[in-house]
Structure 1
């Protein structure tokens, strides 16, 4: 929702509201579990105040590279439309008159199935590099094409995503992959070479390894299906899939250097998560389950004695088991233990122990992937 009222004025009207943000101040109005986001019409940067609003409530500041550090200059609806990022996202509906206001040819772009940045794409991307991710996200969501001028500016500005705080990039990660079109979003990110600014190591691995790519695609498609079916999803599982190729390779290397398999994966998990945190600020409530899913894989492959019965009762078993099936679906060699665990869960408890005795776990054949020189990320 957009209005000409300042955040303070909106907050004064709704006691069940709070002002959030510093760079871009908005108001969240809560109604039970629903949160209505209310934003004030923005004006042009060359104005440090809006008539009648006062300088204290509006301010804009940019870095020497053009990045918007603060954007609280308030203005009119017409000015706000021009300041929006995408033409298809700059349409205003007046609930009183039932009219649609279109100041930037957004309706035309919808008819053409076109995603286009308002204004000079390079200037707008420099103001806020996250707009590149938004362009990709809307293209994936609507199944539109990205305007050529907009697309051409992305490789010139992509490196600026490295200046975005990890916490904000994690929020964008959630928006990109948990709206029901993660598979198409992944395709767009790879096509425009933007995934490496979110998951640099994963981007390299999946481009080099077809099995790694198949695993990530399978996880994306699985997430989309669960969302479409109204089932719960967790970022931990998708993060586990995106970073597994990196963790698995590092665990192989540590194992070759003498670490036992369990210790190798444990150490690899810690290093990979620490490395990912430099780009995305992954909350502990997601990083811990992700690590447990990885470390569970070796236990599932061994399936020994009473340990197998205990594993089924573990709270991480289902997620780890689903992850194992995805690995096999992608083409990883696990000794076909996925089908064994599927059958094991269906056995009466009196027969489960015998099942572990009858089957000696095979040694896993580690995939040896050629290591190519990694290009720089500039």
Structure 2
């Protein structure tokens, strides 16, 4: 298959917009006689005049050959053997061109490389090296299968990604049912790209997601935790959430929570309000840690659970701890939330009652405690969202103002 090759004069990708570390890797590989391409999302974002979050390199050099070329390199991964080339403050992920999944889906051995699938069709290990064309066609979506060739500064398209960029379309490479079975997380990625880029999901892929959403139970819970953070830390969390709802991916991801929302559509408003706030923080360049993210997204649901336990006779502190731990630990079957994050969310919710205690030295002691700021951010956002505790909020805002000398 002959690719579409766009010469330098006919596209907008410039080396000045690529990280200097990635350029060094590309040139070093090229100068040593290897093919070296900037690959995937970095090329997509540069073509869309967006700032890529990272720059990935694809090459015909094997991981061992890459390691010999770069002293600042370490090899990682089992399913995909990758080279991480380490620079100060940046990691350039460098992969060897890979071949597509074998049609027979049996365990195979190809030279020193292995391929293995689970019974569900999910790829568990895949280190079969291939050509640039094969590598492009085994990627998830056409817009992520574009290459930038450092040798002549051209953009190379084997999968029709340039046309889909023009049409603002998320299109799966190959049969969507098969590709989602290989890696169910691709369905979540489709929703993230659609929400982040403002694209549509091609109808065949959309129908396949709706049909195969329950395959998410086969995805590794630890990887799902990483993907959830990408979904809601992308700066377009509200739009991404819209696609998760539209494709019904929300149910297999957050089973109890999503059904609770379905019971009363007004509960949906809190989630949108929380995600709106998350997007504003991200656009302002603020870092938000996972505990505050989960506290905000599930806040109203946790308040509901806490109230039920309080009415059953538990103290507010015990109810907060039991409600949060019960929900988030149960969710770990699908999304493995780390224990320290669960404890931090529990502290945020358990501390909410302390904002009602304004007598004596309690406010000062509370403000000096480690979890105060996160608890206050939740209190402030929830107070404004529900138009409640306005006097208390004003009191705590004044308490946080620096004292005039």
Q: TM-score, normalised by structure 1?
A: 0.85
Deviation at 1:153, TM superposition (A): 0.3
Distance in 2 (alpha carbons) for counterparts of 1:78 and 1:7 = 19
Distance in 1 (alpha carbons) for counterparts of 2:403 and 2:75 = 56
Q: 1:24 to 1:336 in 2, by over 3 A?
A: farther
CA contact (8 A) 1:328 1:336 kept: no
CA contact (8 A) 1:301 1:334 kept: no
**Aligned with residue 317 of structure 1, among 363, 369, 372:** 372
Quick check: 1:307 aligned with 2:387? no
Query: Which residue number corresponds to residue 41 of structure 1?
Result: 97
Q: CA RMSD in A?
A: 2.2
Q: Secondary structure at the match of 2:260?
A: helix
Note the 1:232-311 alignment, pairs <5 A: 232-311=287-366
Note the 1:12-31 alignment, pairs <5 A: 12-31=68-87
Q: 1:192-232 deviations in whole A, cap 9, x for unaligned?
A: 11122322222223333455423322222222222222222
Distance in 2 (alpha carbons) for counterparts of 1:208 and 1:277 = 23
Query: Which residue number corresponds to residue 226 of structure 1?
Result: 281
Quick check: 1:125 aligned with 2:125? no
Q: Secondary structure at the match of 2:374?
A: helix
Q: 1:56-83 deviations in whole A, cap 9, x for unaligned?
A: 5321112232111111111000111111
Query: Which residue number corresponds to residue 197 of structure 2?
Result: 142
Quick check: 1:5 aligned with 2:74? no
Q: 1:77-122 deviations in whole A, cap 9, x for unaligned?
A: 0111111100000011101111111111111101101110011111
Q: TM-score, normalised by structure 2?
A: 0.80
The gaps in structure 1 that reach 5 residues or longer are 49-53, 351-378
CA contact (8 A) 1:47 1:73 kept: no
Tell me which moved more, 312-321 or 76-85. Answer: 312-321
Quick check: 1:80 aligned with 2:124? no
CA contact (8 A) 2:329 2:337 kept: no
Distance in 2 (alpha carbons) for counterparts of 1:274 and 1:292 = 15
CA contact (8 A) 2:60 2:97 kept: yes
Deviation at 1:266, TM superposition (A): 2.3
Query: Which residue number corresponds to residue 10 of structure 2?
Result: none
Deviation at 1:301, TM superposition (A): 3.0
Distance in 1 (alpha carbons) for counterparts of 2:326 and 2:256 = 12
Query: Which residue number corresponds to residue 234 of structure 2?
Result: 179
Tell me the matched-pair count: 345
The gaps in structure 2 that reach 5 residues or longer are 1-56
Q: 1:135 to 1:307 in 2, by over 3 A?
A: same
